[in-house]
Amino acid sequence: MKNLFFSILFIFTCSFVFGQNDLLFAFNLTPAGRNVVLGYSKTVKNNHTFGIGLRININSEKHPDDQFNVFYKRLFANEFSQYFGIQAHYHRAILSDWQCLKPYLFYDLQLTRASTWNRMFLPYSYDVNGDVLYKEYKEYFGPFCWIEQSVGLGYRVKVVNSLYMFQKVGAGITFILGEDKKRPQTSNKFSREFGYLLNIGVSYRLGE
């Protein structure tokens, strides 16, 4: 076990020293909602980039629509642990002979465990004219396991020195695992949502 530990440490150190290593910060819009990622990526042979990072969910008290969606853009962290998740990605460079703009195809995977919420407007009284008055109610469901997978196209450009900017746009599917017996829409153990991924961020290349 001790030898295995030092072997892994040696491989990681060599990768860190001799490879193209980047620290990155990114903002994401996904079918679940919004989040930011603090991560690390490594580029191999100038064409293949592998990355992993810590996902931090951003709660929103507003819904982007009034379509009575249960999961779409409804992720909401109710506990401290629900603010966090994992993000991983793979980039395959295309048109690698371009000098300024570096386009690539990507696969993006994001995992997190968090609740979902919805709001409802239900009648509760009448005014002096006999008109119905409505009151807003918020209800939380879960937590659920969210598995978000996206593919698409992105690019990276050098801003100055070791600082880069990147952006990617894609489409994908989100699997929501778990159940909550409060409503029929959340009682299934498996649900899915189709949507888009919008990503923008900056990275810093180490040792450049």
Write down the pLDDT at residue 186.
Answer: 64
Count of other CB atoms within 10 angstroms of residue 154: 20
Place of tokens 């507003």: 62
Write down the pLDDT at residue 30.
Answer: 94
Write down the pLDDT at residue 185.
Answer: 62
Compute the distance between CA of residue 165 and CA of residue 100 in angstroms, rounded to an integer: 12
Write down the pLDDT at residue 197.
Answer: 96
Distances (CA, A) of 30 to 66, 191, 202: 18, 16, 18
Compute the distance between CA of residue 95 and CA of residue 98 in angstroms, rounded to an integer: 6
- Mean pLDDT in runs of 10 for the chain (208 residues)? 47 52 95 95 90 94 74 90 96 84 95 87 72 75 92 94 94 88 68 92 87
- The dotted CATH code for 21-205 is 2.40.160.20
Write down the pLDDT at residue 66.
Answer: 67
Q: In the structure, how many helices (H) and strands (E) does the chain have?
A: 1, 9
Tell me, what amino acid is at 93?
A: A
Write down the pLDDT at residue 41.
Answer: 95
What's the number of CA atoms in the CB half-sphere (13 Å) around residue 196?
7
Write down the pLDDT at residue 12.
Answer: 45
Q: Which residues are CB-neighbours of 27 under 8 A, at least 6 positions away? A: 34, 35, 36, 199, 200, 201
Beta bridge partners of 151: 107, 171
Write down the pLDDT at residue 208.
Answer: 64
Place of tokens 């506990």: 79
User: Beta 101-126 vs 132-160: how paired, if at all?
Assistant: antiparallel
Compute the distance between CA of residue 34 and CA of residue 61 in angstroms, rounded to an integer: 12
> ∠ CA(71), CA(72), CA(76), 5° rounding?
60
User: Is the Cβ–Cβ distance between 58 and 75 less than 8 Å?
Assistant: no
3-state secondary structure of 27: strand
Write down the pLDDT at residue 187.
Answer: 65
Write down the pLDDT at residue 16.
Answer: 45
Write down the pLDDT at residue 10.
Answer: 47
